[in-house]
Amino acid sequence: MTDFDTFKPHLETAQPQLLQYLNTFQNAKILVIGDLTLDEFLTGQVERLSREAPVLILRHEITQQIPGGGANAVYNLAKLGAKVNVVGLVGKDAQGEALRQIFQASGIDTQGMLVDPSRPTVTKTRIAGHARQSVTQQIVRVDRKSDQLPTREIQMQLAEIIQAQLSQVDAVVCSDYGEGVLTAPVIEAALQHDRVIVDTQKALHRYQGATVFTPNLPEAEQAVGYPVQDNAFLQRAGEDLLKLTQAQQMLITRGEEGMSLFSAQGETQHIPAFNRTDVFDVTGAGDTVVSALTLALCAGASFWEAAILGNLAASIVVRQFGTATTSVTEMQEALATLLEDVSVL
Ligand SMILES: Nc1ncnc2c1ncn2[C@@H]1O[C@H](COP(=O)(O)OP(=O)(O)OP(=O)(O)O)[C@@H](O)[C@H]1O
Ligand SMILES: [Mg+2]
């Protein structure tokens, strides 16, 4: 019997409640404080070799721009129907404008997106080429980012924007990709809300007192300082992370193994991945988990139910290339399909 078969009865029991929570996702107001990234994909057809240098010349076909990093969490929340306010930094450049336009087209409030002329909008540009009738292949990736923290003045400005919005939102999500938005004053302001969900690549201890954290396994291992080789180590890591952060709950996402939820009361629950086949691209799945988990909590779900909905949402986006989003309708359908016939997944 697979993990999922063992888990299925729990899912069956929870289904009516889960469907109810999904129906109220649209009522939630969420403030996301994040390191905003733009993912760019430039694709062209190979024409010939250059005479200037031994390189390919591509004929440009299409440029796609998709929210990445913390911007992916913002976008995921909006596509799940939430009312989203974003706080973060972009540069004074076309990429920052593109991100703002994508957000505004989805009804996201971008007033808290500050322009810092001294830094570029964090951008990851993939250049990919294909010959006639051949698969597209990435050739090079060009990253734009700053290694400097924003000035003290900008940090304080961000903190003020957060403070002004706290009373109007149901939850605060911190999406920290280590790009400089989440400095001490910003975190301090965020933590004044009583429902704070933290997804950070590093330094979980800086968010002491937040409600729930969602590290992936490598992030959890880095934070505790030892490899998680088996279930005993996993349990120990969960407990150590709860001590380190003083959080109510710790949700460790474990890729194809699903996720494990540890509570400050000493309870541990494991949720298997809901689909093991048709996994095309797991990029950004963590952002999707955070988004669905947050909206479920706002809907009144328990942490366990919220984790299940996070897992469900992730099982949908891993079927799509690049960072992706899902919707309440897709989640309802996926839940029904899961309970109907597992073999189709
Ligand atoms: N290979 C996989 N097969 C099935 N489900 C997966 C797979 N990888 C990820 N998932 C689902 O996505 C969830 C989050 O994945 P993961 O732990 O890789 O997050 P992450 O590393 O934070 O992602 P990212 O940082 O790219 O957003 C998992 O808990 C699981 O539900
Ligand atoms: Mg992640």
Which 3-state string (H, E, C) describes 9-23? HHHHHHHHHHHHHHH
Quick check: 343 pLDDT over 70? no
Residue 322 pLDDT grade (very low, low, confident, very high; cuts 50, 70, 90):
confident
Three-class DSSP category at 225 = coil
Task: Specify the ligand 1 atom closest to the Cα of 215.
Answer: 22
250 belongs to a structural domain: yes
Question: Candidates 282, 283, 345: which one to mutate for ligand 1, based on the most atoms within 8 Å of Cβ?
Answer: 282
332 belongs to a structural domain: yes
**Distance from residue 89's CA to the centre of ligand 1 (Å):** 26
Report residue 141 as tokens.
């990736």
Atom 3, ligand 1: residue with shortest CA distance: 256
42 belongs to a structural domain: no
178 belongs to a structural domain: yes
Output the pLDDT for position 341: 61
Task: Give the residue numbers spanning the domain of 94.
Answer: 3-36+68-121+146-340
Q: b/e map of 7-30 (b: 16 or more CB within 10 Å)?
A: bbeebeebeeebeebbebbeebeb
Question: pTM of the prediction?
Answer: 0.95
176 belongs to a structural domain: yes
Binding site membership of 261 for ligand 1 (Cβ less than 6 Å): no
Residue 323 pLDDT grade (very low, low, confident, very high; cuts 50, 70, 90):
confident
At 158-216, the pLDDT tens digits run 999 999 999 999 999 999 999 999 999 999 999 999 999 999 999 999 999 999 999 99
Atom 19, ligand 1: residue with shortest CA distance: 286
Q: Provide mean pLDDT across the span 287-305.
A: 98
Residue 277 pLDDT grade (very low, low, confident, very high; cuts 50, 70, 90):
confident
Q: Provide mean pLDDT across the span 31-59.
A: 97
Using an 8 Å Cβ cutoff, are 281 and 321 in contact? yes
48 belongs to a structural domain: no
Output the pLDDT for position 345: 46
Which residues are CB-contacts of 75 (< 8 A; sequence separation ≥ 6)?
Answer: 67, 102, 103, 106, 108, 325
Total count of domains within the chain? 1
Q: Provide mean pLDDT across the span 91-119.
A: 98
Output the pLDDT for position 1: 58
Quick check: 39 pLDDT over 80? yes
Using an 8 Å Cβ cutoff, are 150 and 181 in contact? yes
Q: Provide mean pLDDT across the span 53-81.
A: 97
Output the pLDDT for position 270: 97
At 216-246, the pLDDT tens digits run 999 999 999 999 999 999 999 999 999 999 9
Return the CATH number at 23. Answer: 3.40.1190.20
CB within 5 A of ion ligand 2: which residues?
286
Quick check: 276 pLDDT over 90? no
138 belongs to a structural domain: no
Output the pLDDT for position 344: 47
57 belongs to a structural domain: no
List 30's β-bridge partners, or say none: 84, 171
- Share of the chain residues as helix, strand and coil, in percent rounded to the nearest 5: 40, 25, 30
Three-class DSSP category at 166 = helix
Instruction: Verify whether residue 109 is a known catalytic residue.
Output: no
The ligand placed nearest to the CA atom of residue 68 is 1
Which whole-number Å values give the CA distances from 130 to 59, 94, 134, 319, in the listed order? 10, 26, 6, 23
Output the pLDDT for position 222: 98
For the ranges 203-207, 276-280, 286-290, the lowest mean pLDDT is seen at 276-280
